Amino acid sequence: MRLAPLAFFLAACPADTDTGKDGDTADTADSGGPAPDLVSDCATAACGGDPVGTWAIVEGCAPDTQTALDWCEEGYMRVTGFTNTGTLTLGADGSYATSFDGGSVALEIFVATSCLGGATCAQLQEQAEQNVPGVVCVDSTGGCTCTASTTTDPDSDAGTWTASGSVVTFSSTDDGNAQSADFCVDSDEMWMQMREGESDMPLGFVLSKVE
């Protein structure tokens, strides 16, 4: 699929609607009194479950991890923010389809002094602006830290999916690629995080079931 605290014990009275947040017990799995709300936010842990259905993206998740730069061993890229809207449909027949409307990704990129080749951070910014308009690079300890925000285009994809434990694997019929994600389903809510190393950016989602 292209993209892209573990349990809360609830003490509040049942809410009228299910928001997936701490204290919300309106989902089916949590009805009948205080119980753990397995899907809360982007900090949810993998727990598996039945992901069949059509799900709408409620929140984009940007993991606090650093991805190494191919051209700078001491540098890294980190996603600091991620938004998107759209739907993910997982069929009981093992088929899937995505329809993403597009959104935005905020990035932090650190380039070590050893990778600058004598250039200043201002010169790095000038070069980077050719590919990432609006990027800002400033001096920081050991090199330059650049921040940027870029938009993501609408995208759709289709293929087949399989689940094993708390890992779901998507095999795209569009490009032939396979990617895996950790996931957790709690009735009408689902958290999904693309696995690091299997996606350019291991982004994730909190989703709400629409059918």
pLDDT digits (tens, 9 = 90+) for 136-154: 999 999 999 999 998 888 9
What six digits make up the tokens of 198? 């299997």
Q: Which domain holds residue 20?
A: 5-37
What six digits make up the tokens of 102? 């597009």
Q: Are 64 and 156 within one domain? A: yes
Question: Has residue 42 been placed in a domain?
Answer: no
Question: Has residue 138 been placed in a domain?
Answer: yes
Spatial contact of 146 and 136, defined as CB atoms under 8 Å apart: yes
Q: Are 15 and 77 within one domain? A: no
Comparing CA positions, the residue from 208, 206, 207, 180 lying closest to residue 194 is 180
| Dihedral-angle region of residue 115 (phi above 0 means left; psi in -120 to 50 means alpha; beta otherwise) | alpha
Structure-model confidence comparison of residues 64 and 25, the more confident one: 64
Spatial contact of 96 and 88, defined as CB atoms under 8 Å apart: yes
**∠ CA 163-6-199, rounded to 5°:** 45
Q: In whole angstroms, what is the distance from residue 181 CA to residue 46 CA?
A: 9
Residue type, 30: D
> How far is C-alpha 11 from the geometric centre of its chain's CA atoms?
29
Question: Has residue 104 been placed in a domain?
Answer: yes
Residue 56 pLDDT more than 50?
yes
Q: In whole angstroms, what is the distance from residue 43 CA to residue 190 CA?
A: 12
Q: List the beta bridge partners of residue 106.
A: 81, 149
**Which of these ranges, 22-26, 85-89, 153-157, has the smallest mean pLDDT?**
22-26
Q: What CATH number does the domain containing 141 carry? A: 2.40.128.300
Residue 72 pLDDT more than 50?
yes
Q: Are 28 and 58 within one domain? A: no
Name the DSSP letter for residue 94: S
Q: Are 83 and 157 within one domain? A: yes
Token pair 């938004």 in the structure block, residue: 83
- pLDDT bracket for residue 187 (50, 70, 90): confident
Comparing CA positions, the residue from 69, 65, 67 lying closest to residue 114 is 69
Q: Are 29 and 56 within one domain? A: no
Q: Are 56 and 17 within one domain? A: no
Residue type, 29: A
Q: Are 32 and 74 within one domain? A: no
